Amino acid sequence: MGRGLLLTSNLPQLQNLIKRDPAGYKEEFLQQWNHYTSVRHIFSLNPDEQAPHLRELVSFIAQVAPCYPKDATEFPSQLSTMLLDAGVQLQPDTRRVLVQNLVMLRNKDVITSLELLRTLFPLLSRAPAAGGLRSFIRKTILTDIRTANQRAKNHKLNRAVQAMLFSMVERGMDGELSGDKGKARAAAGPTSDGLAHAGDEAMWAVILSKELWKKRIWNDAKTVSIVALGCFHPVIKVQSASIHFFLGDDDEQEEEEDDDIPDAKALQHRREVNKKSRGGDKKLQKQIAAAKKKRAAKNNGPAIPNFPALQLLHDPQTFGEKLYDVLSRYEKRFLLDHKILLMQLLSRVMGAHQLCVLSFYTYIVKYLAHKQLRVPSILAALAQSVHSLTPPDALMPVVHKLAHEFVHPGVAAEVIAAGLNSIREVCRRQPWAMEEDLLADLVDYRKSRDKAVVAAARGLLQLYREVNPGMLKRRERGKTASMGMASGSQPLPFGHSADAAVDIEGLNLLEEHLQSLRQESAENVAEDESAGWEGWDDAESDDSDLDSEDGWVDVSDGDDDIEVDMSDSSDDEDGKDGGGAQRAGAESATLNKPDAIPISTLATTKILTPADFAMLTDLRIQAATKAVEAGGGSGAKRKLANLEAARQSSGAGENLEDKFISEHDILGPRKKAKADYAERIASIEKGREGREKYGSMKGKRRKETPSSTTNKEKARNKPIMMILSSGAVRGKKKASLRSKQQKLRAHIERAKKSK
């Protein structure tokens, strides 16, 4: 009896004994289980009364629950109920213990991943930011899903989790969008608690989807659909986070992501409060340096658009129309930065999928002014929304507005260069949006004195020399374009394509490469099998039954002069003529293709894998490199640059890098951009290197004993205007004749003594 009381009062010792002999200590476990049940009922009435004892019992039962699966069947569901029903009222320590023990039950395979995630997902929005519980829940969710998909894709779990995330985003979609502008938000009134809670849930659904996509655990269209739905959420932070996913930058970081980077001021304050030691100082410096490095890497990292996510959008036309509807309907409720985000996403979707949202060009015209804030971003969004299927009639007013606002003598040279570059990027995608008279005026800016303007004007001139030299004046066409026009080549009208969609560009290179590999392998196999055919004629001579009925059959019937006609004898003469005409037409069509390249049939006989497309990209780059070395000109160089950019980007198949441009493409080359705050601070810190302190080193390097200069030495370097207004000079001007004589006599006496 004393032994039993000792065991029941010491739970860690009882836990150790139960794991060694579960059957022998079942009564003690049941006693603690009954105790836990009574404490749980008391805790449900008053959470603060039995909290410490409940935490101890929960930790004990969670450790030994796998030993008694039938008796502890309801234990995981009871923990989930306490977390979900009384999660806000629980103490932070109690909430943490319950979550940790629930995760431990999942690690011991007492519950499934789906049961755990159904409890943890609602806790993300309810758990407080302080204390680290939210970060722990987030890492647990990501780790559990990654472990489930480590060996192979767990489609059953992924579908269930994606359905939960989709419902979390969809739950608050019926709310009214308030926007992020101060007056509009105040007029709309405070956000209701229900919409705020739905916004937190949707925000966490978007964050988790982005993390799983970034870690390449989920890379399907369902993940993209979850984030795409968040682009239309009424809560502005959810909408912004979803848009940043497609744009590929993380300028708006969630506060949970910033928790991993320590604050330098907090570290220094903690160092001042804690006990001083040399090791602590070194550790502090390392932590501060690591924090600065992380923040610099996060803020200065390149923004690469998310090409695969843009390609996996479901119904891009409807998605683009909804984006424009949000942009135009709630324009007065959005700040300029958020409107630019919507413009950038809409333009990239239009460029990637060749959509026609013609109202967007009417909307963006009012922002095309050189005094508009962040106008380079707006111009970049305008240019990348244009493609070959955009009607020229919708773009002509835009081009005229750009020329009227940016390209005239009344603005700075940087503005003119930006306007010319914008017009060039628009016309590169749709050359028919330009008029001859306007083009002649714009090309004349190549005579400017500013290098950026000259480069922009020459770029526009070179573009139309390649795509439509007939719009240029005769003296501006150049030799190559003039020879092309003389040979009768004409630009294709709007809506026409140069080549029919019958082949993949460069597929013949892949077919030749695979054929050469097959030939090499066949030669190797033939060499290996040649040894097996040695002496086959000896074996034939030993066989005496070759001439029997089961052996070879002579089909010549004694006639040695049989001629076999290999042509198709079933066709008549007309059929033969028709077949010849078809062959001749095919040959002429093949010869009329550029560089006489035949159409490859590899795509009709083989399913191309991602490895095949990667090999195709390498072969195209090799062919483009040879063309550049052979003097292919600017077109070959541009093609090689686009292929290399496509290989570096994450997008597969079509090269989307050429469709998206940045602000640097709009601004063009500049003499020297004005340094921002970070660059100025970096320059100041670089100048301070090697100094003992931030003071002057004058007089300290030249002397053995460090000292400053005297006032007499300083007076020698004073400006003359300061000296003229000094008291000494004024006193000399007002001195009497007697005082001047005395000073002169004293000077003569000093000169004699010095000699």
Tokens of 485: 């026009």
What local confidence, expressed as pLDDT, does residue 648 receive?
59
Query: Alpha-carbon distance 423 to 400, whole Å?
Result: 9
Is 397 inside a domain boundary?
yes
3-state secondary structure of 210: helix
Residue 475 contacts residue 440 (beta carbons within 8 Å): no
Query: Alpha-carbon distance 80 to 733, whole Å?
Result: 97
Is 394 inside a domain boundary?
yes
3-state secondary structure of 657: coil
Where in the sequence is the domain holding 395, given as residue range(s)? 315-484
What local confidence, expressed as pLDDT, does residue 704 receive?
65
Tokens of 365: 């015209």
What local confidence, expressed as pLDDT, does residue 64 receive?
93
First-to-final CA distance of the chain? 119
Query: Alpha-carbon distance 28 to 203, whole Å?
Result: 46
Query: Alpha-carbon distance 740 to 458, whole Å?
Result: 74
Query: Alpha-carbon distance 347 to 83, whole Å?
Result: 45
What local confidence, expressed as pLDDT, does residue 9 receive?
65
Residue 226 contacts residue 204 (beta carbons within 8 Å): no
Residue 419: how many other CB atoms lie within 10 Å: 28
Query: Alpha-carbon distance 424 to 667, whole Å?
Result: 12
What local confidence, expressed as pLDDT, does residue 553 receive?
46
Residue 398 contacts residue 419 (beta carbons within 8 Å): no
- The C-alpha angle 439, 441, 445, rounded to 5 degrees, equals 110
Which residue, among 139, 344, 415, has the nearest Cα to 259 in the 3D structure? Answer: 139
Phi, psi of 45 (to 5 degrees): -85, -40
Query: Alpha-carbon distance 619 to 613, whole Å?
Result: 10
Q: Of 484, 505, 529, which closes a domain?
A: 484
Is 402 inside a domain boundary?
yes
Phi, psi of 696 (to 5 degrees): -80, 145
Is 163 inside a domain boundary?
yes
Residue 494 contacts residue 392 (beta carbons within 8 Å): yes
Q: Of 420, 453, 484, which closes a domain?
A: 484
Query: Alpha-carbon distance 414 to 443, whole Å?
Result: 16
3-state secondary structure of 524: helix
Phi-psi region of 541 (alpha: psi -120 to 50; beta: other; left: phi over 0): alpha
pTM for the structure as a whole: 0.68
Is 355 inside a domain boundary?
yes
What local confidence, expressed as pLDDT, does residue 88 receive?
65
Which residue, among 247, 190, 211, has the nearest Cα to 137 in the 3D structure? Answer: 211
- Split into its structural domains, the chain has a count of 2
Is 575 inside a domain boundary?
no
Contact residues for 446 (Cβ-Cβ < 8 A; gap 6+): 454, 457, 458, 461
Is 550 inside a domain boundary?
no
What local confidence, expressed as pLDDT, does residue 625 receive?
87
What local confidence, expressed as pLDDT, does residue 694 receive?
59
Residue 50 contacts residue 58 (beta carbons within 8 Å): no
Which residue, among 625, 655, 654, 629, has the nearest Cα to 640 in the 3D structure? Answer: 625
Is 494 inside a domain boundary?
no
Residues in the chain with pLDDT values less than 50: 1-2, 4-6, 187-190, 251-259, 301-302, 536, 538-595, 650-654
Q: Of 158, 176, 194, which closes a domain?
A: 176
